[in-house]
Amino acid sequence: MSPYEIKSVQERILPLYPRSMDLSLDRIIFLLEKLGNPQKKIKNIIHIAGTNGKGSVLAYLSSILLSSGYTVDSYTSPHLVHFNERIKIGGNNYDSYIDDGSLADILHECERVNDGAPITIFELITAAAFLKYSTTNSDFLLLETGLGGRLDATNIIENPLVSVITPIGIDHQQFLGNKVQDIAREKAGIIKKNGKTVLGKQESLVLSVLKEYIQLLNNKSQIWNEDYNVIPQDKNFIYEDSRYQLKLSFPNLIGKHQIENAATSIATLSSIDDVKISNKDFEVGLSNVLWPGRLEKLEVGPLSKYVSSDTEIWLDGGHNEHAAMAIADTMKDYKDKKLILIMAMMNTKDSKKFLNPFVNSASHVIAIKIPNSENFLSPNEIKQSAETQGILAITKNDLYEALEHTKSLNGKIRILICGSLYLAGFVLEKHRGRAI
């Protein structure tokens, strides 16, 4: 489906939005009923919510299951480069994205059946994805929430194999609340009565809330540092639970937090009795995992011509304080070069809190706009946030000017482009034309 066709769908749907962006399941329930409830025909759903790490956990699950010979569909949002990335059929690579024709068919069918009723574009896409997944007959569907959990459009599923909740922090406050406990309650909405739940690493206030729901709903749970444990070593890590004792190499994704995400994925698979995975399959799955735009070192390509030959370009789409803490913690291990942040953010985000973990590691911040967006935080505001914390900062008109500017800085340079998934998508499109 071409960008033009997607834009046309969005333009047609926009007048159908509710007057205010309210989270509700009523609209998608109505549409799915008219479609014959395709979501009820899908087997073996793993439902994933959280503030950070959802996509990484999903990528690990997909890669490990594929290594074990299973077929895997997955649903994620937002896309980085191409709309098709949201709906993957049977695998985890670029070639497994839904093709343009199939995407056009399911979206147009959902539009037709919806027949002008109130709907959001995410609800329409989710319904379309369920329509497609109901016909694939894959072994598993990995289903990532879009926003929240309780009232997320994906939460109309009734009996997932397991509900997974990755680390929860402050984000999307306008919809989920300003307190981490309130956000935790929204995320906990994916926990189903008498079901199974796996919890990633959580802060104490969040953990208390989630445990309340688990107990109330009579869940079998796998909880970080209680029911499963991970011990990092020099070149590998130890994973332990009641079913598995594994010694594994570090995963392909970079960052200390990725060991935690990998462990949560293993715990998820461990909780499913009928899934059989060998030690070798875990090892191969972790080593082959791909998840673009997450502490990704970009290979030499089109953007390289804008920087000095010995300058590295890294990319991460993290956009909240919790993500920044994980990124900054990892970058501290790379002290051989000066760290320069090229940064843009949506206007709903807090640049000061995002930058706080970089106070002792970032040499400069170069603030830019998010390309092709009207809802960005002004570069001047990002600059001010950096300066109030003692980080040198300037603004530039665009990504290319920002990259060029690094040539004028002394010393060896490592660039981290960060602050927005939308910026990450733009970077990947310009650098290699696709996400993977």
Beta bridge partners of 296: 315
**Where would I find the H helices in 310-391?**
321-331, 351-355, 379-388
The CATH number for 196's domain is 3.40.1190.10
Judgement on whether residues 132 and 224 belong to the same structural domain of the protein: yes
Q: State pLDDT tens for residues 315-335.
A: 999 989 989 999 999 998 888
Judgement on whether residues 260 and 356 belong to the same structural domain of the protein: no
Give the pLDDT of residue 436. Answer: 77
The CATH number for 412's domain is 3.90.190.20
Please report which confidence band the pLDDT of residue 90 belongs to, taking 50, 70 and 90 as the band edges: confident
Give the pLDDT of residue 5. Answer: 59
Neighbours of 174 (CB within 10 A): 8
Looking at 288, 321, 355, the residue that finishes a domain is 288
Does 251 score more than 60 pLDDT?
yes
Judgement on whether residues 204 and 277 belong to the same structural domain of the protein: yes
Does 193 score more than 80 pLDDT?
yes
Judgement on whether residues 266 and 311 belong to the same structural domain of the protein: no
Which has the closest alpha carbon to 251: 140, 5, 260? 260
Average pLDDT score over residue span 220-228:
97
Please report which confidence band the pLDDT of residue 256 belongs to, taking 50, 70 and 90 as the band edges: confident
Judgement on whether residues 74 and 139 belong to the same structural domain of the protein: yes
DSSP code of residue 250: P
Please work out, in degrees rounded to the nearest 5, the angle formed at the alpha carbon of residue 171 by the alpha carbons of 87 and 74.
15
* Rounded percentage of the chain residues whose pLDDT exceeds 70: 92
Give the pLDDT of residue 235. Answer: 86
The count of residues in the chain is 436
**Where would I find the H helices in 204-301?**
204-216, 256-270, 279-288
**For residues 350 and 3, which has the higher predicted lDDT (pLDDT)?**
350
* Structure tokens, 400: 């290319």
Judgement on whether residues 273 and 301 belong to the same structural domain of the protein: no
Judgement on whether residues 314 and 209 belong to the same structural domain of the protein: no
Residue type, 2: S
Q: State pLDDT tens for residues 120-149.
A: 989 999 999 999 999 999 999 999 999 889
Q: How many domains does the chain have?
A: 2
Mean pLDDT for all residues in the chain: 92
Average pLDDT score over residue span 223-239:
95
Average pLDDT score over residue span 362-367:
97
Q: Beta 140-144 vs 45-49: how paired, if at all?
A: parallel
Please give the Cα distance from 123 to 16 (Å, whole number). Answer: 11
Average pLDDT score over residue span 395-412:
96
Please report which confidence band the pLDDT of residue 4 belongs to, taking 50, 70 and 90 as the band edges: very low
Q: State pLDDT tens for residues 421-432.
A: 999 999 999 999
Judgement on whether residues 196 and 89 belong to the same structural domain of the protein: yes
Which has the closest alpha carbon to 411: 328, 349, 335, 347? 335
At what angle are helices 100-114 and 121-133 packed, to 10 degrees? 120
For 395, phi then psi, to 5°, come to -115, 150
Q: Phi-psi category of 254—alpha, beta or left, where left has phi over 0 and alpha has psi -120 to 50?
A: beta
Give the pLDDT of residue 172. Answer: 47
Judgement on whether residues 159 and 246 belong to the same structural domain of the protein: yes
C-alpha gyration radius of the chain: 21
Residues 6 or more apart whose CB falls under 8 angstroms from that of 112 comprise none
Residue ranges making up the domain that contains 328: 296-432
Beta bridge partners of 47: 143, 163
Judgement on whether residues 248 and 397 belong to the same structural domain of the protein: no
Judgement on whether residues 264 and 326 belong to the same structural domain of the protein: no
* Rounded percentage of the chain residues whose pLDDT exceeds 90: 81
Please give the Cα distance from 286 to 67 (Å, whole number). Answer: 9
Looking at 234, 254, 288, the residue that finishes a domain is 288
Judgement on whether residues 193 and 317 belong to the same structural domain of the protein: no
Looking at 237, 269, 288, the residue that finishes a domain is 288
